[in-house]
Amino acid sequence: MIDPFTYIGLPARVVFGPGKRAELAAEVDRIGARKALVISTPEQRSDAEMAAELLGDRAAGIHAKAIMHTPMETVHEARQMAAELGADCYVTVGGGTAIGLGKGIALESEKPVIALPTTYAGSEMSTIQGFTEDGVKTTRLDDRMLPKTVIYDPELTLSLPPSYSGPSGMNAIAHAVEALYAEHANPIISMIAEEGIRALGEGLPKICARPDDLEGRTYALYGSWLCGIALGAGGMALHHKLCHVVGGSFNLPHAQTHTIILPHAMAYNASATEAAMARVCRALGADNAPNAVCDLIETIGAPMALKDLGMPEDGLDRAADMAVKNPYYNPRAVTRDGIRALLDDAWHGRRPPA
């Protein structure tokens, strides 16, 4: 039985494969642009320089100032620099932080962005982004933020340390898991999500055993793209809400917070999401989805407890209050007691019951 659904495919051109960054200049030509401003974080300036070199005379300059929480001042600064240098498009090199800045620029200027992702966060496939202005964070949802072209070159992820590669991949898996039971779940996205989880389940252990394993990197980046599509389909649920609340309120690292919360959010929702859990089991070759995710986290040596990220135990009540304050879609009713118990398990790093 197939329930009625609505499916929207987002229109990004994707170029995938080891070494594909070499096609960057041709992709700039393809979108009809002449000069690109290259965007990165300060930590990835050398990657931005690599991109500028590939662009040759199509490079207008480098803006290596992307920072977390995407302040609007940085967006304005980058746009001003682009105007001064005569750039008519942007190239982002990096993870969600660099891509977030690219999204802000695309939103305000409507100039095209080409993204070269270097983590597994999947932000380049979504039309949602948080921006900070005068200390206030606002989330925007707008199709104009989508990059015109995404070049996935797994060689660009070789430098991402295993300690971040693992959690970053788990962040991607979380997008796919929630897409399987989101309010607007549909069979197309479910198929993509399952394949994304399978590819990351294959790639992440290889990378964490040997960071220079290009095959593992290729599987993981392919999986992260698919999980990004699942994220881009919209409509996440409890897991993303909890990560937003806990990560934002206690300033916890993004990917690691997703890693720790995921098996607990899954265990909470499992009784109401049997078909979704069956897909996760099939993707990971297991018979209990939350436990299979715990096993994967253990295999890749990622953190299992919120206390290890520095969250204070006396913050658990506040986090539970905030998580139930405003209603949102979740396949199982969200109760204050249920969330408090879930957070307690996640704080201590207990495995959800089998």
Does residue number 218 form part of the binding site for ligand NAD (CB under 6 A)? Answer: no
For ligand NAD, give the closer residue by CB, 213 or 345.
213
DSSP state of 119: S
Checking DSSP bridges between strand 113-117 and strand 149-152, what pairing results, if any?
parallel
Determine contact, residues 199/175, Cβ cutoff 8 Å: no
Does residue number 259 form part of the binding site for ligand NAD (CB under 6 A)? Answer: no
Residue 267 vs residues 116, 218, 274, 289, 290: alpha-carbon distances, Å: 34, 30, 11, 8, 6
Does residue number 183 form part of the binding site for ligand NAD (CB under 6 A)? Answer: no
Does residue number 43 form part of the binding site for ligand NAD (CB under 6 A)? Answer: yes
- Nearest of 121, 235, 104, 105 to residue 170 by alpha carbon: 121
Question: Closest separation between CB of residue 21 and ligand NAD, Å?
Answer: 12
Q: Which of 92, 119, 218, 291 touches ligand NAD by CB under 6 A?
A: 119
Span from 5-13, 48-56, 88-96, 313-321 in contact with ligand NAD (CB under 6 A): 88-96
Determine contact, residues 332/265, Cβ cutoff 8 Å: no
Position with the least CB separation from ligand NAD: 96
Determine contact, residues 120/165, Cβ cutoff 8 Å: yes
Q: Which of 74, 92, 109, 118 touches ligand NAD by CB under 6 A?
A: 118
Determine contact, residues 88/111, Cβ cutoff 8 Å: yes
Does residue number 254 form part of the binding site for ligand NAD (CB under 6 A)? Answer: yes
Does residue number 100 form part of the binding site for ligand NAD (CB under 6 A)? Answer: yes
For ligand NAD, give the closer residue by CB, 65 or 198.
65
- Nearest of 333, 306, 331, 328 to residue 319 by alpha carbon: 306
Helix (H) or strand (E) run with residue 169 in it: helix 162-181
Span from 50-58, 82-90, 155-163, 301-309 in contact with ligand NAD (CB under 6 A): 155-163
Question: Closest separation between CB of residue 11 and ligand NAD, Å?
Answer: 17
Does residue number 121 form part of the binding site for ligand NAD (CB under 6 A)? Answer: yes
Question: Closest separation between CB of residue 124 and ligand NAD, Å?
Answer: 8
Span from 75-83, 89-97, 180-188, 199-207 in contact with ligand NAD (CB under 6 A): 89-97
Q: Which of 8, 10, 14, 128 touches ligand NAD by CB under 6 A?
A: 128
C-alpha torsion angle, residues 14, 15, 17, 19 (rounded to 10): -140
Does residue number 168 form part of the binding site for ligand NAD (CB under 6 A)? Answer: yes
Span from 19-27, 38-46, 201-209, 284-292 in contact with ligand NAD (CB under 6 A): 38-46
Determine contact, residues 51/77, Cβ cutoff 8 Å: no
DSSP code string of 279-324: HHHHHHT-S-HHHHHHHHHHHTT----GGGGT--GGGHHHHHHHHH
> How many residues of this chain interact with ligand NAD, rule: CB under 6 A?
26
Q: Which of 28, 38, 41, 257 touches ligand NAD by CB under 6 A?
A: 41
Distance CA 300, CA 271 (A): 27
Q: Which residues form the interface with ligand NAD (CB under 6 A)? A: 41, 43-44, 68, 94-98, 100, 118-119, 121-123, 126, 128-129, 156-157, 159-160, 168, 231, 254-255
